[in-house]
Structure 1
Amino acid sequence: MLTDADIDFMRNTREEITKKRERLVTLTYADGTVDEYTGEIVDGRPIERTVSSVVTELSSSSSAGAERYMENGIQYEKGDIWLSVAIDFIWDIADKMTHVSHDGKDYTILAADKKGIGKRNRYEILGRLVS
């Protein structure tokens, strides 16, 4: 059984565990007025923030070479990326993010979910390659 001390230990050591696996990514988000009826940001301007992230590039080498596959109810495509970003880096913009740039490629953000055992410590982000 996990104790509160175990959970605190995992949260505090995450940086050390992921350090050699992280790459810089640039997240784009919109900042502006929120429309009271649609919830969309209007009159917004794009703002970029560069953060460290564990990046997994999904390729056709997974799932027997398929161009598309499903896992845990999520459809992935060849060229998608999966990011794991510390919650402290993006807590204030997580619901405003629209795009991510990595390794000279641009991706549209499809999903950003909070993750962590016991306490939220990161966002897992799915990005689809913009062609």
Structure 2
Amino acid sequence: MRNKGAKDAIEILDRRLQTTAQGGQSQSIERSNGNGEDDKKGITRNLTRNLLDLAINETDLKNFMLNLSYLVARNKGFSQNNELMSLFNKIQELIQSERRKNKNDKEILEEITEYLKGVVMVTYVVEKSDKKKDILDILKKSMGE
């Protein structure tokens, strides 16, 4: 499941770089958050780490989804073509897929945790890299894409 999370993060972050390369605005464009500091839209290592912590610490799938929804809304994630909304949808798809396999809520949360570990790893590596496109290409090849 960690590989699926990594692949999905690569897809989302690659879309960001393609949008930027085509001259469009990406969700990584800095914006003011009202207190003089700059903030970033889209998925970031801090945000993905918060999502992972949420999955690790939650014991009830319904509470996890409620808290996840709150976190997405708080970060302005419920809009079209938004990285965070894309990740939210992928987590929902994962839940539905695991339910079809007759997994219980605890098992599904464990799968979500593993999935998010992959997302966090890729997001961290890409954010720390000076050559984001190059590192994404390397990650895509190593993941078999």
Greater strand share, 1 or 2?
1
TM over 0.5: no
- By relative contact order (CA 8 Å, sep 6+), the higher-ranking structure is 2
Q: Which has the larger radius of gyration?
A: 1
* TM-score normalised by the chain length of structure 1: 0.27
* TM-score normalised by the chain length of structure 2: 0.25
